[in-house]
Amino acid sequence: MSHDATPNLDFAGTTPYEDYVQADVLTHLQHPRSKDPGEMVFLVTTQVMELWFTVIVHEWETAGRALREDRIPAAVDALKRSVRELEALNASWKPLGQLTPAQFNSYRSALGEGSGFQSAMYRRMEFLLGEKSASMLVPHRGAPRVHAELEKALHEPSLYDEVLSLLSRRGLPVPQEVLRRDPALRYEPDAVVERIWAGVYAEPGRHEELIRLGEALTDVGELVWRWRNDHLVATRRAMGSKTGTGGSAGVAWLEKRAVKNVFPELWTARSHV
């Protein structure tokens, strides 16, 4: 290519970049409801979070399919991509993490009954992590497509369910009651599964591939834990212990979530290796 070549600037319609990225759509989705200049960053940051949720759901669904097909390297690749995406998602708290109560109150009323727990894409993330709850479909009854997607996700195996099925196919003694559990229910830790992971980690030469998978899942779990804690700290800083938007319990609810680990036996098994 010649160094003096100039880019094509003349297009019959919209630019190819616009056609692919839909930048004009994205940059005109912001409709602040207050006159406070700080509302714009709150709105855009929340929208960016929704986009990251969408990518992460895609990665975890990709990982789940790969696990069903016994393609552990492909699953690990998807999980590792999601780790980088979770890091970017968690960084989204930076613009909001130092809001004072007065700053947040200046546009909080614009949210009305809106609250983060109503995010359907975040709910799909939680479902993939095994945090299932049929009651969380209720807010979406008025949006048939969203409700149908969530209902499907509720009844499908979580990412961790797929991992446990893989361990069973590899000859490890995952209990039948774990394998046959209703996938629409929240996953509860199991002592036998904990012993299985402890055994896997105790024999790295024999279980190298499974340990790589376990470590990728642990990386995901750590960043989910950090996300929840960053959410808790940002909320505590902006509004203290007041009731959250949409009637949620606010900080009290976030505190309960912050102490929970996803893929629990991967954490507790380490005490027994």
Closest alpha carbon to 162 in 200, 129, 133: 129
Distance CA 50, CA 57 (A): 11
DSSP state of 261: P
Distance CA 15, CA 26 (A): 15
Calculate the CA dihedral of residues 164, 166, 168, 174 and round it to 10 degrees: -10
Alpha helix segments (H runs only) across 134-243: 144-155, 159-169, 176-179, 191-202, 208-239
Distance CA 133, CA 153 (A): 11
Structure tokens at 80: 């590792």
Q: Exposure pattern of 67-88 as b/e (b: 16+ CB <10 Å)?
A: beeeebeebbbbbbbbeebbee
Q: Which residue has the tokens 């007041």?
A: 242
Closest alpha carbon to 114 in 253, 252, 245, 251: 245
Judge whether 27 is annotated as a binding position: no
Distance CA 164, CA 172 (A): 9
Question: In angstroms, what CA-CA distances link 194 with 148, 159, 178, 209?
Answer: 34, 17, 12, 18
What residue type is assigned to position 98 of the chain?
Answer: Q
Judge whether 231 is annotated as a binding position: yes
Judge whether 155 is annotated as a binding position: no
- Residue ranges of the annotated binding site for substrate are 108, 245
- Residue ranges of the annotated binding site are 108, 231, 245
- Residue ranges of the annotated binding site for heme are 231
